[in-house]
């Protein structure tokens, strides 16, 4: 059963310097997660089931796009909307070179290949 959680953020703006520092600390902190069990524990505590599923589907969509998979098959296999596939495709197309290299590397992992082989 999924939480019907609507993500909300305050309409009050943060000082740009504080916002920048918060992001720097976030990226630094996330970089400390160096094992899948740590990542699983951290994200399970931090994110709702719905947020985790959304993130997992977006990453899977990006990897399938990177592997050259057909958009229609992605939609059917992952039960995502056309808008999601289009937005993720645009993100992949315009991603930084480091991000593209990371997606390429991840897409070649045996665990992802096995998962994608089982998609309908």
Determine the Cα–Cα distance for residues 108 and 46; give it in Å rounded to an integer.
Answer: 28
Domains of the chain from N-terminus onward = 39-117 (1.10.1270)
- pLDDT attached to residue 45: 92
- pLDDT attached to residue 1: 34
CB 48 within 8 A of CB 6: no
Q: For the CA atoms of 53, 41, 14, 6, what is the dihedral angle to 10 degrees? A: 30
pTM: 0.79
Contacts of 21 by beta carbon, 8 Å cutoff, 6+ apart: none
The CA radius of gyration of the chain, in Å to the nearest whole number, is 16
Mean pLDDT of successive 10-residue stretches along the chain, which has 120 residues: 50 88 93 91 92 95 93 93 96 96 92 76
């Amino acid at each position: 059963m999924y939480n019907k959680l609507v993500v909300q953020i305050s309409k009050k703006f943060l000082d740009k310097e504080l916002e920048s520092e918060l992001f720097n600390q976030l990226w630094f902190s996330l970089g400390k997660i160096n094992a899948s069990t740590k990542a699983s524990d951290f994200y399970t505590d931090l994110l709702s089931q719905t947020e985790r599923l959304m993130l997992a589907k977006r990453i899977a969509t990006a990897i399938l796009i990177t592997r050259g998979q057909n958009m229609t098959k992605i939609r059917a296999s992952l039960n995502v909307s056309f808008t999601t596939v289009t937005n993720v495709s645009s993100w992949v197309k315009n991603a930084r070179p480091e991000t593209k290299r990371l997606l390429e590397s991840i897409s070649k992992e045996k665990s992802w290949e096995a998962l994608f082989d089982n998609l309908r």
